[in-house]
Structure 1
Amino acid sequence: MANLIKKDIQKIFNYYEPALPKSLSRINKLLKLLGKPHFRLEKIIHIAGTNGKGSVLTFLKSCLFHNNLTVNALISPHLLRINERIVIKNNFVKDKILIDALNRCDNQLKRNEITFFEVITACGFDLFSQFPADWNILEVGLGGRYDSTNVIPKKNVAVITPISFDHENYLGEDILSIAKEKFGIVNKATPVVIGKQKKEIVEYISKNKFFKKNKIFMYDKHWVVKESQGKFIYEDEKDSIEIRAPHMIGSHQIMNAGLSIATLRFLKKNNDLRIEDQIIKKGIMNAKLLGRLEILKGRISKKLNNSEIWIDGCHNPSGANAIAKAMKSINSKDTKK
């Protein structure tokens, strides 16, 4: 595999299975052969949910960066290059480092069946143990319970973004079945911060003794977010923060920003993090993520004559509704000008 990877690292998709039955056994076996690097990781934020995972990760990473901390991260999917899936100390992994990590994994596999996502996750854990950062942020690829990132034995906090219908053939046909798969990243010892959820999921959480009162920080019960004329206000039981609307457009991004603030403040409350509100404000306002309701610029825009091309990576009904709402708001503002 090494020679072809050196020729084009972006073609490694072709080497592994696209999908296999739900199981953590394959990645656990590979990680054992690599010396269990995931057991050496500390300071972990684990993010699951249907929509907003990448945006929440981006907000968190920006806030931690502005707090003079380094971040390693596993991100999926990538937009342009596979390197975007692994962040080492605030930067996308370099080709040479990624190639070496992939070769280490491949040398252990001996042609065993394994998925691309399992391999790239193992590479990430291997690199995180070699290049330790102040924080490790893990974004679930699919579901949660059987996701490759869920081999981490202990985490400082789990974050659950809004849950809706997606990948029903894999996660379940009804919303509670899907939610239970997402909540699979939470164990009894894991503090959890929960974003805005559907009524059925809120009722499930409130009736489930698994979610201990001192371990949960939930939207509309412990924290809220309110929009107000180009800014938003985050409030919890201790304090409030007023912040200018982030670069990322849409009410859904304000909710993602709020969930990120709730996570940081919950970590602070649990004495896992020292961070001031001014740093949080700076991090939220400066966070940027390509491919999230982004207007294309450059040569193509010059040929459009008063037209625009906007792109977004949403891929399910709930995401499409959020983008439609944001575009309607943008058009309404343009009409008033």
Structure 2
Amino acid sequence: MAEARSDILLDRMMSLHPKIIDLTLDRMHRLLAALDRPEAKLPPVIHIAGTNGKGSTLAMLRAGIEGAGQSAHVYTSPHLARFHERIRLSGALIDEDLLSDILDECLAANGPDSITYFEITTAAALLAFTRAPADWTLLETGLGGRLDATNVVDQPRLTILTPIDLDHQQYLGETLAEIATEKAGIIKRGVPCVVGPQQDEALEVIEARAERLGAPLLAFGQHWHVWEERGRLIFQDETGLIDLPLPNLVGGHQIVNAGATLAALRHLGSDETACEAAVTQAEWPARMQRLKAGPLVEIAQAAGSDLWLDGGHNPAAALAIVESLSRLPEKPTHLICGMLNTKDVGGFMRPLAGVADSLHGVSIPGQAATLSGAETVAKARASGLTAETADDLESALRAILSQHPGARVLICGSLYLAGIVLQQNG
């Protein structure tokens, strides 16, 4: 099969800067100026940052907006199977021809100047959003917030901060306060900000920045509340209480993600139809996703087992996995895990030791920063897990099912690994 034109252009973009990540907005502003400032021509923007839950929150927002009969441009990262997943125009994935044309245009505008892959592809997304009508623009930060390439819109309509935790310390700072300072950098002067549950150290940083900029906060536990009661989701804010079905996205952590979404929608004037669509119609792959088709699923089904996928890769994500598993029917659970050496591997493993019967460690194909299967296993054993290595996903799955037919199998540890799984089982 011939390589897609967009893939060729994206490969060229990878060579425009020696570092994958180099946080500054200078290059971004230069390129956007050369493109005639697309960030100033977008439909009203909702900008989302946080450590965990921002993708799920964005997915629910999109579902709520579409449930109200409106449309949204959406920018997310990273992609799982194809780059096109990052850019939705009025709800539909960008098509190959438009993506290639936009990438070409950005490469020409940038010329020989240095720019990171994420910066130039973010500029491409913003430019694409000016080529089609929509009611809203939903932007998910890539890393941090203050110096993230998405943080170029002077006056978004709303910002949202999902729970902030330790992650990407090599770029964002070693302490929770330092990381919160970076994430809270999306708060703009006078622009309301919806704030999900936060640790005190992070909340203090957020409140201080919001006060300095005169940005009204809509904070969990103060301005809105959300909880589960008798198998329903109950949300309450200053305008009243609504009773909705539980989110279709799996896990108790999705209750608070739904709460932030509902706080945003109600602030924007959405009705209960939109709110119900947000919690019942959202789709977000690789977040406690039960796989339904594909060769790996066929292997699992032949042994009477179910196969699950989660791309979480930090301690807070591991806690969410543990909570999600507690809501599923009780059965032995075995993990297939691949992780990058840039992550807090022990912090991810330790919560899982109490719920997983075993772990098989694999390397992540195509990722230079992958831990080897043996390194992953060493970390798992140090965290109290029974673990052994496997050559690849299929070998790991077959090894588990040969000894434990009927068990639940969860593939976890990395969005990059999740992307490979979805490519094989799309």
Aligned to 2:343: none
CA contact (8 A) 1:43 1:134 kept: yes
1:1-337 paired onto structure 2 within 5 Å: 6=5, 8=7, 12=11, 14-17=14-17, 18-206=19-207, 209-210=211-212, 212=214, 215-268=216-269, 275-298=270-293, 299-304=295-300, 305-332=303-330
Question: Any idea what the Cα deviations from partners look like across 1:74-124, whole Å, max 9, x if unmatched?
Answer: 111111110011110111100100000000011122222111111111011
Q: Give 1 or 2: higher helix fraction.
A: 1
For 2:43 and 2:71, the matched residues in 1 are separated by 13
Residue 128 of structure 1: CA displacement?
1.1
Residue 284 of structure 1: CA displacement?
1.8
Q: Aligned in 2, Cα 1:264/1:35: closer, same or farther, shift over 3 Å? A: same
Unaligned runs of 5+ in 2: 334-426
Residue 200 of structure 1: CA displacement?
1.8
Residue 147 of structure 1: CA displacement?
0.3
For 1:10 and 1:188, the matched residues in 2 are separated by 37
For 2:146 and 2:206, the matched residues in 1 are separated by 17
**What SS does the corresponding residue of 2:212 show, helix, strand or coil?**
coil
Which amino acid counterpart does residue 243 of structure 2 have in structure 1? E
Residue 187 of structure 1: CA displacement?
2.0
Residue 263 of structure 1: CA displacement?
0.6
Larger radius of gyration: 2
Question: Any idea what the Cα deviations from partners look like across 1:259-297, whole Å, max 9, x if unmatched?
Answer: 1000111222xxxxxx21123112321111111101122
For 2:161 and 2:6, the matched residues in 1 are separated by 39
For 2:145 and 2:68, the matched residues in 1 are separated by 29
Which amino acid counterpart does residue 322 of structure 1 have in structure 2? A
The percentage of counterpart residues that share the same residue type is: 35
For 1:23 and 1:302, the matched residues in 2 are separated by 46
CA contact (8 A) 1:150 1:185 kept: yes
CA contact (8 A) 2:291 2:297 kept: yes
**What SS does the corresponding residue of 1:32 show, helix, strand or coil?**
helix
For 2:314 and 2:47, the matched residues in 1 are separated by 22
Question: Any idea what the Cα deviations from partners look like across 1:280-325, whole Å, max 9, x if unmatched?
Answer: 1123211111111011222433322122221111121111111122
Relative to the length of structure 1, the TM-score reads 0.91
**What SS does the corresponding residue of 1:189 show, helix, strand or coil?**
coil
Unaligned runs of 5+ in 1: 269-274
Which amino acid counterpart does residue 6 of structure 1 have in structure 2? R
For 2:290 and 2:225, the matched residues in 1 are separated by 29
Residue 183 of structure 1: CA displacement?
0.4
**What SS does the corresponding residue of 2:32 show, helix, strand or coil?**
helix
Which amino acid counterpart does residue 212 of structure 2 have in structure 1? F
CA contact (8 A) 2:48 2:141 kept: yes
CA contact (8 A) 1:50 1:161 kept: yes
Residue 207 of structure 1: CA displacement?
5.4
For 1:302 and 1:4, the matched residues in 2 are separated by 29
- After the TM superposition, which of the residue ranges 295-304 and 112-121 deviates more from structure 2? 295-304
For 1:20 and 1:297, the matched residues in 2 are separated by 35
For 1:7 and 1:162, the matched residues in 2 are separated by 34
Which amino acid counterpart does residue 38 of structure 1 have in structure 2? E
Q: How many matched pairs?
A: 326
CA contact (8 A) 2:6 2:103 kept: no
CA contact (8 A) 1:75 1:139 kept: yes
Aligned to 2:413: none
Q: Which has the higher contact order (CA 8 A, sep 6+)?
A: 1
Structural RMSD (CA) = 2.2
Question: Any idea what the Cα deviations from partners look like across 1:122-179, whole Å, max 9, x if unmatched?
Answer: 0111111121311001000000000001111111111000000000010000000000
CA contact (8 A) 2:76 2:86 kept: yes
Q: Aligned in 2, Cα 1:81/1:239: closer, same or farther, shift over 3 Å? A: same
CA contact (8 A) 2:47 2:160 kept: yes
Relative to the length of structure 2, the TM-score reads 0.72
